Amino acid sequence: MHKGCTVWFTGLSGAGKSTISTLLHERLRAAGAKVELLDGDIVRTHLSKGLGFSREDRDENIRRIGFVCELLSRNGVIAIAAAISPYREVRRSVRARIPNFVEVFMECPMDVLIGRDVKGLYKKALSGEIEHFTGISDPYEPPEAPEVTIHSARETPEQSVERVWLTLKSLGLITHD
């Protein structure tokens, strides 16, 4: 039915990582897959509590998520990670350690992200109230060759999940329809 793998969602805050990864998780579970979801916000409160938002702390957070994904994947579980993961180098490092790594880039224009921002974080970052905000005062390095690019401003969540699902099938990581 499925092979152990990691589906890694990356993109700016508000791009839809949590939404699409949760829908994918539900669909895989309904199909009988062993699957776990590591959402960046939840991981920060448990696995990475105490880390800040410096580059070093962000990289450490991603390495920790990657380590858990590696353990799950090698034990036949589909690990889904949804984290901003702004820096290419640490994503490359995680990818190198995990066979069957599928990177999903959640692309979304800044004006749409700002419009979706119910917490007002972009507004605060743009006014200088929040330092080190990814995409505003800190860089985000988009993936150079993701397996899937989701254009969340132009696709429905269901269309996006279907595209990831079809990629997993084409790579032989799932066989269920």
Rounded to 10 degrees, the C-alpha dihedral 44/157/115/128 comes to 20
Rounded CA separation 76/11 (Å): 26
Strand order in the sheet with 148-151: 35-39, 78-82, 5-11, 101-107, 148-151
Q: Which domains does the chain have, with CATH numbers?
A: 5-170 (3.40.50.300)
Confidence of residue 30 (pLDDT cuts 50, 70, 90): very high
Reported as a single tens digit per residue, the pLDDT across 71-85 is 999 999 999 999 999
Confidence of residue 41 (pLDDT cuts 50, 70, 90): confident
Q: Is 54 a catalytic residue?
A: no
Reported as a single tens digit per residue, the pLDDT across 96-155 is 999 999 999 999 999 999 999 988 999 999 999 998 899 999 999 999 999 999 999 999
pTM of the predicted model as reported, rounded to 2 decimal places: 0.94
Confidence of residue 177 (pLDDT cuts 50, 70, 90): low
Catalytic residue among 13, 85, 152, 160: 85
Rounded CA separation 174/56 (Å): 35
Task: Name the nearest CA neighbour of 98 among 154, 155, 147.
Answer: 147
**Whether 13 contacts 113, CB under 8 Å:** yes
Rounded CA separation 101/91 (Å): 10
Task: Name the nearest CA neighbour of 72 among 6, 24, 136.
Answer: 6
Residue 82 burial class via C-beta count within 10 angstroms: exposed 0-12, middle 13-18, buried 19 and up: buried
